[in-house]
């Protein structure tokens, strides 16, 4: 099996049976804030796109690059489709001209036939509203000699299916640096922000190491991050200073940083791949070649990003010219967009539980979730518990484009500011991901379903429910206890063990009790 990195979470997998292109991203994403790092614009995208199979893990724009798919990828390729309850991914691919789909079943091994023979694949599909934009996934590919698990951004809660279906994994490709805006856009004191960011940085890498330990692959490729931020106003988000320091508070650690974390913790199987790097993998044997010395990138990372910024400045400027600049109040367009969604999502609106303020230049619009209305501010109502300051042109753009997902556009751009009083509100961000009738119906129904939490596990002198109240991760694998606080490293949520209260968000109580010492 030959695996070529095409940048970020993208890989080209060549086997004797056929070729698979995974998550090919090259064009700026999220309002031109993100570009692939290292630069992959010099790759031969026509050659890379001439494949037998296409796998797009989910609709995040750093995985689903519509322009690249349209211009460079063979439309006769068979799309390996994750088993999602909402068909948005298939619809978007059909719009681009893809017409042959192999519909997989979640976490079930399938045999696919390419021009040179058969491959075994399995796609692990995550279906919670918090997983990507209504779904995320990872794919396993086996050619009979080598098994590759491309996990990209996915955070599976049950890894036992891998061993049961494929046995040993030879090479594991996974995210270690998340797609997130917290806490950098929050209106909080700089020292507090740095402390939160330092915790976020380390937890993300700890979570990735937990997955690596569970999978137990011979080789590990850190991928799916970080991007490069080339706009001058966002350049501070690049991790270029003191990259290996434990005091670093940048939330976007790079590949070398994570590989050092692996080495510190006793894992020598990590390998660095840059766009164009080729890994020839034969079972547990691997031979790696690079198109250039990686130190031309990482030796002086700040200078490399500066050169990227100069080269791609016209591309970023062209993207900005497509934004919708206009005039006039936004209250009525937002009312028309949001109120029908509010009317269909009682559980989510009640879960949000309070009015949310949108400060859009000189205009403030209130999303009054308890009353299911969008309105102007009421005199004397004070500061909203959750609020966002967003440039009006960004809001006009998503309204013009009838965008179903503000998280996958405005929020991941980091081109906004926010504040909150109290904990993170998962219901609010789920609402912003689900701005269609179909999405909101699925999300509201998902939250209303009862989940079994009867099984228990013992952790450091406590008996706790085995499944995390957030997204059902196995706490015997992802739970870490410090004092009276339990942290689920899958998403970093925390609980007070004495009371069972969630310290991260409203609701989501944990069943827990202290075990008596013997």
Q: Using a cut of 0.95, tell me whether the model's pTM lies above it.
A: no
- 165-194: per-residue pLDDT in tens? 999 999 999 999 978 899 999 999 999 999
- 421-443: per-residue pLDDT in tens? 988 898 999 999 999 999 998 88
The whole-angstrom separation of Cα 500 and Cα 456 is 14
Q: Which of 486, 488, 480, 516 has its CA nearest to residue 498? A: 486
Greatest C-alpha distance within the chain: 71
The whole-angstrom separation of Cα 358 and Cα 422 is 18
The whole-angstrom separation of Cα 15 and Cα 118 is 10
pLDDT at 448 over 80: no
Using H for helix, E for strand and C for coil, what is the string for 343-408?
A: HCCHHHHHHHCCEEEEEECCEEEEEECCCCEEECCCCCCCCCCEEEEECHHHHHHHHHCCCCCCCC
- 369-401: per-residue pLDDT in tens? 999 999 999 998 888 999 999 999 999 999 999
pLDDT of res. 158: 82
Question: Which domains can be identified in the chain, with CATH numbers?
Answer: 2-315 (3.60.15.10), 331-448 (3.30.1050), 456-514 (2.102.10.10)
pLDDT at 368 over 80: yes
Q: Looking at residue 237, what DSSP letter applies?
A: G
Q: At what angle do helices 255-264 and 190-215 cross, to 10 degrees?
A: 60
Q: Return the structure tokens found at 282.
A: 């034969």
Q: Give the residue with greater pLDDT, 308 vs 467.
A: 308
| Cβ-Cβ contacts under 8 Å for 158 (sequence gap 6 or more) | 107, 474
**Sign of the dihedral defined by the CA atoms of residues 371, 375, 379, 380, in that order:** positive
- 39-92: per-residue pLDDT in tens? 999 999 999 999 999 999 999 999 999 999 999 999 999 999 999 988 999 999
pLDDT at 365 over 70: yes
Length of the chain, please?
518
CB < 8 Å & 24+ apart, contacts of 257-266: 257/205, 258/176, 258/177, 258/205, 258/208, 258/222, 259/222, 261/205, 261/209, 262/209, 262/212, 262/220, 265/209
| Cβ-Cβ contacts under 8 Å for 414 (sequence gap 6 or more) | 30, 33, 181, 184, 185, 229, 234, 237
Which of helix, strand or coil describes residue 106?
Answer: coil
Whether 198 and 184 have beta carbons less than 8 Å apart is answered as no
| 428 HSE (CA, 13 A, CB side) | 23
| Cβ-Cβ contacts under 8 Å for 91 (sequence gap 6 or more) | none
Rounded (5°) CA angle 352-355-357? 115
CA 166, distance to chain mean position in Å, is 25
Over the chain, what is the mean pLDDT?
A: 94
pLDDT at 302 over 60: yes
Whether 125 and 106 have beta carbons less than 8 Å apart is answered as yes
């Amino acid at each position: 099996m030959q695996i070529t990195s095409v940048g970020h979470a993208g890989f080209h997998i060549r086997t004797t049976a056929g070729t698979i292109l995974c998550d090919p991203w090259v064009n700026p994403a999220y309002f031109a804030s993100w570009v692939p790092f290292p630069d992959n614009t010099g790759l031969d995208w026509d050659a890379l796109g001439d494949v037998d199979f296409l796998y797009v893990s989910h609709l995040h724009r750093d995985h689903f690059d519509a322009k690249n798919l349209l211009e460079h990828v063979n439309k006769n390729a068979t799309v390996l489709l994750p088993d999602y309850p909402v068909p948005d991914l298939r619809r978007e691919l059909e719009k681009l001209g893809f017409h042959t789909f192999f519909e997989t079943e979640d976490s079930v091994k399938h045999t696919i036939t390419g021009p040179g023979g058969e491959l075994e694949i399995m796609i692990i599909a995550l279906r919670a509203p918090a997983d990507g934009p209504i779904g995320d996934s990872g794919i396993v590919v086996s050619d009979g000699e080598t098994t590759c698990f491309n996990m990209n951004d996915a955070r599976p809660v049950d890894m036992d299916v891998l061993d049961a279906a494929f046995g040993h994994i030879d090479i594991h490709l996974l995210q270690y640096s998340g797609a997130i805006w917290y806490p950098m856009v929050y209106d909080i004191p700089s020292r507090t922000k740095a402390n939160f960011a330092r915790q976020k940085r380390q937890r993300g890498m700890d979570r990735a190491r937990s997955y690596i330990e569970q999978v137990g692959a011979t080789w590990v490729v850190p991928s799916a991050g970080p991007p490069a931020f080339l706009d001058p106003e966002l350049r501070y988000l690049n991790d270029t200073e003191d990259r290996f320091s434990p005091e670093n508070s940048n939330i976007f650690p790079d590949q070398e940083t994570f590989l050092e974390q692996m080495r510190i913790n006793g894992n020598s199987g990590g390998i660095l791949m840059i766009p164009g790097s080729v890994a020839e993998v034969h079972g547990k044997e691997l031979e790696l070649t690079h198109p250039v010395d990686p130190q031309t990138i990482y030796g002086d990372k700040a200078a490399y990003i500066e050169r990227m910024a100069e080269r791609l400045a016209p591309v970023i400027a062209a993207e900005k010219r497509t934004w919708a600049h206009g005039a006039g109040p936004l209250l009525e367009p937002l009312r028309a967009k949001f109120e029908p969604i509010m009317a269909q999502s009682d559980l989510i609106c009640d879960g949000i539980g309070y009015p949310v303020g949108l400060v859009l230049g000189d205009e403030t619009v209130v999303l009054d979730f308890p009353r299911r209305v969008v309105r102007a501010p009421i005199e004397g109502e004070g500061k909203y518990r959750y609020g966002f300051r967003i440039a009006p042109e960004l809001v006009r753009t998503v309204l013009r484009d009838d965008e179903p997902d503000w998280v996958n556009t405005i929020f991941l751009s980091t081109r906004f500011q926010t504040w909150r009083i109290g904990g993170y509100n998962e219901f609010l961000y789920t609402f912003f991901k689900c701005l269609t009738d179909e999405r909101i119906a699925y999300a509201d129904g998902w939250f209303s379903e009862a989940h079994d939490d009867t099984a228990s596990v013992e952790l450091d002198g406590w008996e706790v429910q085995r499944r995390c109240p957030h997204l059902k991760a196995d706490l015997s694998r992802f739970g870490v206890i410090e004092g009276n606080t339990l942290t689920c490293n899958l998403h970093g949520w925390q609980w007070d063990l004495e009371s069972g209260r969630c310290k991260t968000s409203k609701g989501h109580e944990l069943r827990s009790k202290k075990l008596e010492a013997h």
